[in-house]
Amino acid sequence: MESAEPETAAAFHPSEHQHVRYNPLRDEWVLVSAHRMRRPWQGQVEKPPEENIPRCDPGNPLCPGAKRAGGEVNPEYSGTFVFENDFPALQPDAPEPGPSEHPLLQAKSAQGICQVMCFHPWSDITLPLMSTQEIRVVIDKWAEIMEDLGATYPWVQIFENKGAMMGCSNPHPHCQIWASNFLPNEAQIEDRTQRGYLGEHGVPMLLEYGRLEEKRRERVVLDNEHWLVVVPYWAVWPFQTLLLPRRHVTRLQDLSDAERDSLASIMKRLLCKYDNLFDISFPYSMGWHGAPTGSHLSDDCSHWQLHAHYFPPLLRSATVRKFMVGYEMLAQAQRDLTAEQAAERLRCLPEEHYKLRDLGASSVK
């Protein structure tokens, strides 16, 4: 990168001076404008009033016993409940487009399946308020779905949109699963970059990265025996985190019993911290990335390391969100708060959920 030589070279401090950081997983750069953190705040915006969500609402199509848009009635489920999305973005039997007539007008077949997974029968609960045993049930179901749909589909994307700010259309705790007959863009990018890193350095990129962060600790938010949560060095969203297993694991379904238990524990701790940041149910989009499946199950996928991304949109209060617009759309992503500052803020937050603290109750284990 070209830069004009400053007249007097001042010492560089990453928390004070602007710089660009490399994201090796997406092979792209992010502009970190650390000096902007010193500008005066425009005043804290009040947090919105807590939403009053009924625990059971027969009119909510995700509730036990409720009727869905397609006319089907949900069972009186007690743990998790998975159903085929009534408005699927991918269907298994879509006809294939004909051959492309011009390289600038290319289309390929897109087939797949979309499911919705309810985490819990109650609408007024979220993952951080569920017990670790209940979260473990969600993890087991995720692994089972990965295994089932992954038997045929090359990519199975599990993702959770939480909060209206992230486009979530229903307050009932749930995630979605979209399985496709193609590798989506993000999967293709991460496959290429991780393959390249292993070829060049002889170690899986994210295994090495986790070990590096474990040693340096400045971006670590949480860790336990099997997992590590960091604000990645190259984070774009203010409080973005990366959840990594300590062992080399390529797919969610390969996690051991002990790893699943400690995943439930670290997810609960992370999500309580997130909610405690602004004392609200913290919005985010999260999802799992692991080695491709389907016909790739027989390939060497050792360059992959399983991980989950958490992308929360909020910046400095319950209502002030970061928009990826202007420079981000036309040039490249930019952030003000450094990854180290964000990690420090998250690290300092209590792990007892604010709703329990307000009730004076002790933490639910």
Greatest distance between any 2 Cα atoms in the chain: 72
Nearer to Zn ion, 307 or 322 (CB): 307
User: Cα dist. 168→71, 164, 175, 268, 296 in Å?
Assistant: 22, 5, 9, 20, 32
Does 174 qualify as catalytic in the annotation? Answer: yes
Interface with ligand H2U (CB under 6 A), residue from 80, 123, 126, 176: 176
* Residue 287 backbone phi and psi in degrees, to 5: -170, 165
Structure tokens at 31: 């502009």
Are 292 and 192 a contacting pair, CB within 8 Å? no
Contact between 355 and ligand H2U by CB under 6 A: the answer reads no
| Residue 312 CB coordination number (10 Å) | 23
Interface with ligand H2U (CB under 6 A), residue from 170, 302, 317, 319: 170
Query: How many whole angstroms separate alpha carbon 54 and alpha carbon 56?
Result: 6
Which amino acid is present at 122?
W
The entry of Zn ion, ligand H2U, none near residue 85 (CB within 5 to 8 angstroms by kind) is ligand H2U
Nearer to Zn ion, 228 or 272 (CB): 228
Using Cβ positions, the residue closest to Zn ion within the complex turns out to be 289
- Between residue 66 and residue 95, which ones bind ligand H2U under the rule CB under 6 A? 68-69, 85-87
Stretch that binds ligand H2U, among 7-15, 61-69, 203-211, 265-273 (CB under 6 A): 61-69
Instruction: Please measure the distance between the N-terminal and C-terminal CA atoms of the chain and give it in whole angstroms.
Output: 50
- State the pairing for strand pair 284-289/241-245: unpaired
DSSP state letters, 316-354: SSSS-B----HHHHHT--EESS-HHHHHHHHHHS-SS-H
The entry of Zn ion, ligand H2U, none near residue 289 (CB within 5 to 8 angstroms by kind) is Zn ion
Interface with ligand H2U (CB under 6 A), residue from 78, 106, 169, 188: 169
Nearer to ligand H2U, 92 or 97 (CB): 92
The entry of Zn ion, ligand H2U, none near residue 271 (CB within 5 to 8 angstroms by kind) is none
Contact between 285 and ligand H2U by CB under 6 A: the answer reads no
Query: How many whole angstroms separate alpha carbon 120 and alpha carbon 123?
Result: 8
User: Cα dist. 292→90, 198, 214, 303 in Å?
Assistant: 18, 16, 27, 11
Q: How far is the CB of 187 from Zn ion (least distance, A)?
A: 8
Nearer to ligand H2U, 71 or 199 (CB): 71
The entry of Zn ion, ligand H2U, none near residue 170 (CB within 5 to 8 angstroms by kind) is ligand H2U
Interface with Zn ion (CB under 5 A), residue from 172, 269, 289, 335: 289
Which contiguous run of DSSP H or E holds residue 175? Answer: strand 174-180
Contact between 256 and ligand H2U by CB under 6 A: the answer reads no
The entry of Zn ion, ligand H2U, none near residue 161 (CB within 5 to 8 angstroms by kind) is ligand H2U
Contact between 251 and Zn ion by CB under 5 A: the answer reads no
Nearer to ligand H2U, 41 or 87 (CB): 87
Cβ burial, residue 178 (10 Å; 0-12/13-18/19+): buried
User: Cα dist. 77→69, 117, 122, 124, 132 in Å?
Assistant: 18, 12, 10, 16, 19
DSSP state of 151: T
Query: How many whole angstroms separate alpha carbon 36 and alpha carbon 39?
Result: 6
Contact between 116 and ligand H2U by CB under 6 A: the answer reads yes
Which of the residues 13, 102, 172, 174 is marked catalytic? 174
Nearer to Zn ion, 190 or 191 (CB): 190
Nearer to ligand H2U, 89 or 329 (CB): 89
Contact between 161 and ligand H2U by CB under 6 A: the answer reads yes
Contact between 61 and ligand H2U by CB under 6 A: the answer reads yes
Q: How far is the CB of 325 from Zn ion (least distance, A)?
A: 23
DSSP state of 299: S
The entry of Zn ion, ligand H2U, none near residue 41 (CB within 5 to 8 angstroms by kind) is none
Binding site for ligand H2U (CB under 6 A): 61, 68-69, 85-87, 116, 161, 168-170, 176
